[in-house]
């Protein structure tokens, strides 16, 4: 395992910038922890596992950074009114209903893209049985259909 330390440091440094300002050392620590807490012996293809683990930890850090809201000194978060919360919930329901009514593979694709697990294009293409190169153009067409549908409904 000591031979993996330089590879882990390099991978973590490369992914840290894309991870929403996460420190490379934090990514390294998370990967070492994942390795030590994992079930069973270390993986046989350790270098490949390590690269995948660093990318997964970077995705987790990006999601966490998106959810975190930095506040200045003395700032108090605004509490949404019950009316605003109800309107937000209604907008969410309308959006989910519109996505379900889209043609073809669009509902599956957009649901996969909006899932909380933040899957990669590779994972989505494998799950849906669509080539990875087709996902971007299909996504654009689906979003165009969704936009048209939502505009027509007002």
**pTM score:** 0.49
Give the Cα-Cα-Cα angle 20, 24, 29 (nearest 5 degrees): 115
113 closest CA partner among 92, 89, 140, 153: 140
- What pLDDT, in 10s, does the model give residues 94-114? 989 999 999 999 999 999 888
Q: If pLDDT is split at 50, 70 and 90, which confidence band does 73 have?
A: low
Q: Which fold has domain 94-152?
A: Arc Repressor Mutant, subunit A (1.10.10)
Helix/strand/coil for 77: coil
Residue 136 burial by Cβ neighbours in a 10 Å radius (0-12, 13-18, 19+) = exposed
Residue ranges per domain, the chain? 4-67, 94-152
- What pLDDT, in 10s, does the model give residues 18-39? 666 778 888 888 888 887 887 7
- d(CA 146, CA 50) in angstroms, rounded, equals 39
| Predicted pLDDT of residue 19 | 67
Do residues 27 and 16 make contact, with C-beta atoms less than 8 angstroms apart? yes
- Residue 47 in tokens: 């270098």
């Amino acid at each position: 395992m000591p031979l993996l330390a330089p590879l882990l440091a390099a991978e973590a440094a490369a992914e840290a910038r894309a991870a929403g300002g996460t420190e490379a050392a934090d990514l390294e620590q998370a990967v070492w922890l994942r390795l030590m807490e994992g079930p069973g012996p270390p993986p046989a293809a350790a270098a490949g596992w390590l690269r995948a683990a660093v990318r997964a930890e970077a995705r987790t850090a990006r999601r966490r950074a998106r959810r975190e809201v930095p506040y200045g000194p003395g700032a108090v978060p605004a509490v949404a009114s019950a009316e605003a919360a109800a309107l937000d919930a209604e907008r969410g329901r309308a959006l989910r209903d519109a996505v379900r009514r889209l043609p073809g593979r669009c509902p599956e694709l957009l649901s996969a893209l909006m899932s909380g697990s933040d899957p990669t294009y590779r994972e989505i293409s494998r799950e849906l049985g669509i080539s990875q190169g087709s996902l971007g153009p299909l996504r654009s067409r689906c979003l165009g259909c969704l936009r048209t549908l939502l505009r027509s409904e007002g």
